[in-house]
A and B are shown apart, each in its own frame.
Chain A
Amino acid sequence: MTADDLSYLTISEAAAGLRRKEFSPLELTQACLARIEAINGKLHSFITLTVELALRQAEQAEEELRSGNDRGPLHGIPIALKDLYMTKGIRTTCHSAVLEHWIPDHDATAVAKLQEAGTILLGKLGMHEFAFGGPSVDAPFPAVRNPWNTAHIPGGSSSGSGAALAAGLCYGALGSDTGGSIRTPSSHCGIVGIKPTYGRVSRRGVVPLSWSLDHAGPMARSVEDCAILLQAIAGYDPKDAASANVTVPDFRAGLKDGIKGLRVGVPRANWFNENKGTDPETEAVFDNALNTLESLGAVIVEIDGKPFSIARKANQTILVCEAYAYHEKTLQATPMKFGSSVRRRMLEGAFLSAADYITAQRVRSVLNEQIRANFSRVDVFASPSAPRPPEAFQGMDPNEQNLRPNFTNPFNLTGLPAISVPCGFTPGNLPAGLQIVAQPFEEATCFRVAYAYEQATEWHKRRPPI
């Protein structure tokens, strides 16, 4: 096995190899660190490397596995964290000058759970500043670049997570998603990411952007790997006010059950053509993905996209109000410490009224009901994960995203679980993602559909030319 092959193993393959003693946790860690050393300068996906910790954890995992103390499929697997997950004793910057030197005194709940599962922490990943705005061009750390073409954005806000996974720099990562920040970089980087149901994964210790829209979740190179990671971080946390006290099922149990007879709702009308519409190449890739789902036995049902289309406005209003409320003191005291993109977006919240915010939350109630009503006719929704391929940095228009349909926002607003799985490439050889959305706490259905699609295609096996 070449060093590149080792770096591109999935978590499930690496876990099996560790137990067959084909390689050790230390060798996996060293392979990642060597690749980071060689490539990170082109991608800027890591802000902080935790080399000594990683090597120490690798040695510990090796010893534990040798002595039969097996903590499960993540034991000895090197991972990385979006730099808004608090890590005890390790700098957590949110990619911002505001927190450039901040060292938290406790771990986020999800981080603690990954540690208990025996993972190895390689470091903290770049992102859009405070998970908002666009690529951070005037932050203290460079903007993350797309491994498929470094002249293009990797999507955000979990940009480092998407880029690092696509480039084979880690085996799994955590992202966060307030309006699409797991699914968009997953789509743009050709990897898998799931935004779980609101309340499924604790947000404690994840620096907030918008309390009522924030979701923590995993990103990886395969559907099964995402299921493994979600299994480790899901569960009730009394220290998170939004945490749901619901049973966590075995997310891998039904992976291979197939999708025969599954009704897939496509909210195309009144949504896909909103404003400038969906990029035709992206829509063609999506339609091919629907054909594959159909060939696997799914039934495609066209549904009205109007409520999905409206969701963006409510999502954005709630988001800027909550983000401004969280950052108000810093924006009053030292506004220029924020990068221009995130500063201007957050400041919009200062000029909206309490009634504007509550109106958006009332619209959220209405749309939640309208969107969920579709589940009487269909089992899941499907859409492209992003309306167009990743833009080039040069000439990027920050307003462009408001002129295209936003396929991810509605599921932050409704809290429904949504996964992005690679579904092809546009003619510019840039990846595209298929989004599958299920009913609340039905992440297993997202995984089952995405897995069936993934196994019927080869997209997830491609590697970027970095």
Chain B
Amino acid sequence: MANPVEQFKIEPIVPLEIGGVNVSFTNSSLFMVVAVVLATAFLTLSVKGRALVPGRWQSMAELMYEFVANMIRDNVGTEGRKYFPFVFTLFMFVLFGNLLGMIPYTFTYTSHIAVTFGLAIVIFIGVTIIGFARHGTHYLRMFFPHGAPLATAIILVPIELISYCSRPFSLAIRLFANMTVGHIILKVMAGFIIMLGIAGIAPMVFLGGVTVLEFGIALLQAYVFTILTCIYLHDAIHMH
């Protein structure tokens, strides 16, 4: 049976090296470019007609816009509107990354901890800077909930600090683990189909079900990544 983790190997397509650093254009970069081009084409071309009563494509683009705009308005409030471009880009990037990976023989760039941790650390640093810019040192009050007795501060503050600092890790690992494990399951099941010959009908049915589940998980994980970003923004802007 072929190794199910081989699908995550990064292959350089155009090998480049600048000052000893490997900056080659890899299959991961290729699919990131494909996702960006697809998302941009979808959003710009479908609203080109600017119809007042939207047709099918324009409806879809408007639905996506409203979906993220409502998410921000409900979770961050009206001051969050200035972060809409960032959150929308994040949502589109993760969504297209997850969905492109469902096509056979493609590469899921969100299945690499390098990509997801890069996104998560940017969100974490950005949210921390926003919190300090808005509230100054008062932001540190976030680690000591209002009204708790002073004696508990000794245990409470380290726990809150650790839970705050674990946010980028949990964001990154949640997305990367979901994508990686999903694709490994798909590969292993597909291997069983070939191994069993005629009796491979049973794993094939199971594989059909798991593929539908993986599509759902692709959408859900993009949504959860974005909504957790909105929740962290809310915490930074409004301090609980």
Partners in one complex: no
